[in-house]
Amino acid sequence: VILLLNSMGALVTGYLAAYNLIQTAGWSYLMFLMICNFQSRGAYGLYDPELELTLQVFQTLAFLEFFHALFGLVKSNAAQTLGQVFSRNYILWIIVGPFKSVKISPAVPLFLTAWTITEIVRYFFYFLSLVGSPLYSVTYLRYTMFIVLYPMGVAGEMMAVYYAQPEILAKNAFTVSMPNVCNIGFDFYSVTWALQALWPLGLFQLYTYMLRQRKKVLSLEKEKSS
């Protein structure tokens, strides 16, 4: 039984290490595409089809992290993880994907820069933690860069919704008008305004949590080095 548990533990660790390494590589490639597109087309020309597809693949893949938490493979809270992954994919698939006005807006370079740097550091930190011990520099970046990047990302996401709203209203996008067979109406434009109110609340919760974690983790690191 002990051998079986050890084998299962090794398999889980190997799987999680591979997952985090793949995500690190994916987000690093995304950063490469951003730099290339910026050099050739400027800040408002970042969002080309190749970058969009790469972002869709690796951001959608993050839904696996909900199942990692749900089945106890990691210690994260499953509901909180689902909320974070859903919010990113809502921006990606529902707000940016269908609306050209968002793709060429200042929102894209803002949230893309925040997402990409955050994820490269985060996934690389997790990978190193699984295969050994992360360098202090990586740990420091993991628990420091969020101070700027999290508000920057949320600002970009909220800005993306703002740029999408005129098109949503003009096209009645994702809206169900009355009357209809089911006698049910759905006004997506109003929903976007309601969801906007949740973004600052989510940022506050995550930000204060990360500040507590930063104090805890960096204090432990200092004790190790002393």
Q: How many CB atoms lie within 10 A of CB 208?
A: 10
**What's phi and psi for 46, nearest 5 deg?**
-65, -35
Q: Which of 159, 85, 158, 95 is nearest to 122 (CA)?
A: 85
Q: Which of 15, 44, 90, 150 is catalytic?
A: 150
CA–CA separation, 195 and 121 (whole Å): 28
Rg of the chain in Å (alpha carbons): 20
- 8 A C-beta contact, residue 39 and residue 153: no
162 is catalytic: no
Q: Which of 123, 157, 163, 189 is catalytic?
A: 157
- 8 A C-beta contact, residue 184 and residue 176: yes
29 is catalytic: no
CA–CA separation, 67 and 60 (whole Å): 13
CA–CA separation, 183 and 148 (whole Å): 46
Catalytic residues: 150, 157
